[in-house]
């Protein structure tokens, strides 16, 4: 016999609308750190990153080991940057694109911190931020790290073909960002605060081209943004920036058009992290950047700096993920997409 529990206003007082949560205690993002590869460091946002590697191998024996080392270093410096140690942190919430989250798990094995491993493909950074924020807001810990990483060469080997094979790149393809971004959440004043979370639904409009991930992910981004507006009562005019994770040129245009058809004109405030991180023409990255590390490094550097300096008041970060694998692609499956959103505000 199963007991069907009906929602009551008191029991779900922090759940608003269909898919959103309001954070009553407003956790603060008290520290961030970003590490990127040389190609990302040479792009338009290069000056905002904390660390730019001279070599994307980062002194390691393989690309996978390099990604793990980058993640470990980023998390450690994010914690140490405010005078804390790993023993002070209650959770790491994070993930990457590799099988069994190996970059994240190997990065975490030397920390004295519980790991909540998360997979949302390229939406992982916002997913990690959502989970970490809820844990701190609910009083389940004092400090939590949200982190995500990716690496161009490890992703190529995982999802496409090793670089040595010299495969041809499609015009709609994107360049996986080499990098890791971390944010430390806690309670306190004087820092940007997380106020709302909107978890996304899986959306699939039938796109089967694994090189057109922007087109595959755009419907999920649109659905999450639309639902966020409906749940919270916010409108585009209430935000200074709406930033998607890694839709690139193709996905960004689709998202703008679909939202406009729904009555939401975001064109003046909308940016895509994947389109912004590279100089698309000069750096030969086709449609822009991608990867779990894409929105992670842009959010923990460029966007956080704007919030911290109060040049913007409110940002909606909408990391986007293509939920495919090499197996499903070879079997002719379509590519489901997902997007999670989080509202971050500068302190008044």
- The domain that holds 104 is classified in CATH as 3.40.47.40
Bridge-based pairing of strands 289-290 and 175-176 is parallel
Parent domain of 219: 193-345
Inside any domain, residue 152: yes
Instruction: Quick: pLDDT tens for 124-160.
Output: 999 999 999 999 999 999 999 999 999 988 878 776 6
Query: Do 278 and 323 fall into the same domain?
Result: yes
Query: Do 277 and 179 fall into the same domain?
Result: no
**pLDDT of 165 strictly over 60:** no
Query: Do 298 and 271 fall into the same domain?
Result: yes
Task: Name the domain count of the chain.
Answer: 2
Inside any domain, residue 9: no
Q: What pLDDT was estimated at residue 5?
A: 39
Other residues' Cβ atoms within 10 Å of the Cβ of residue 243: 22
Helix axes 248-261, 213-232, angle to 10 degrees: 40
Q: Select the more confidently predicted residue: 168 or 2.
A: 168
Query: Do 145 and 218 fall into the same domain?
Result: no
Token pair in block for residue 142: 């004092």
Inside any domain, residue 3: no
The long-range contacts involving 158-166, CB below 8 angstroms and separated by at least 24 positions, are 158/97, 158/98, 158/99, 158/326, 159/97, 159/210, 159/324, 159/325, 159/326, 160/210
CA distance 48 to 209: 33
Q: What is the mean pLDDT of the chain?
A: 91
- On the CB side of 183, CA atoms within 13 Å amount to 36
Q: What pLDDT was estimated at residue 287?
A: 72
Query: Do 132 and 236 fall into the same domain?
Result: no
Helix axes 152-159, 63-80, angle to 10 degrees: 130
- Choose the final residue of a domain: 186, 218, 236: 186
CA distance 91 to 69: 19
Query: Do 107 and 203 fall into the same domain?
Result: no
């Amino acid at each position: 016999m199963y007991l069907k529990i009906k929602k009551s206003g008191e029991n779900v007082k922090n759940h608003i609308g269909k898919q959103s949560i309001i954070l009553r205690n407003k956790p603060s993002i008290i520290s961030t750190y970003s590490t990127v590869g040389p190609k990302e460091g040479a792009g338009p946002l290069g000056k905002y990153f904390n660390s730019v590697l001279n070599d994307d191998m980062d002194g390691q024996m393989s690309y996978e080991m390099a990604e793990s080392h980058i993640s470990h270093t980023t998390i450690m410096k994010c914690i140490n940057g405010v005078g804390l140690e790993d023993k002070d942190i209650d959770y790491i919430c994070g993930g990457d694109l590799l099988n069994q989250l190996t970059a994240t798990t190997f990065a975490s094995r030397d920390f004295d911190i519980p790991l909540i491993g998360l997979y949302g493909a390229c939406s992982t950074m916002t997913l990690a931020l959502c989970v970490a924020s809820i844990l701190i807001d609910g009083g389940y810990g004092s400090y939590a790290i949200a982190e995500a990483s990716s690496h161009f060469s490890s992703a190529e080997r995982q999802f496409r073909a090793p670089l040595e094979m010299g495969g041809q790149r499609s015009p709609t393809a994107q360049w996986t960002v080499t990098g890791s971004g971390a944010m430390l959440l806690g309670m306190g004043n004087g820092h940007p605060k997380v106020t709302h979370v909107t978890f996304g639904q899986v959306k699939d409009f039938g796109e089967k081209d694994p090189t057109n991930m922007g087109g595959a992910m755009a419907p999920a981004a649109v659905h999450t943004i639309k639902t966020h507006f409906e749940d919270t009562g916010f409108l585009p005019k209430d935000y200074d920036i709406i930033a998607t994770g890694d839709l690139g040129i193709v996905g960004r245009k689709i998202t703008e058009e679909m939202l406009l058809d729904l009555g939401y004109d975001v064109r003046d405030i909308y940016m895509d992290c994947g389109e912004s991180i590279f100089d698309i023409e000069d750096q030969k990255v086709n449609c822009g950047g991608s990867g779990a590390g894409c929105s992670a490094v842009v959010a923990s550097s460029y966007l956080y700096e704007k919030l911290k300096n109060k040049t913007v008041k409110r940002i909606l970060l909408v990391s986007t993920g293509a939920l495919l694998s090499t197996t499903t692609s070879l079997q002719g499956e379509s590519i489901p997409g997902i997007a999670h959103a989080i509202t971050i505000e500068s302190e008044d």
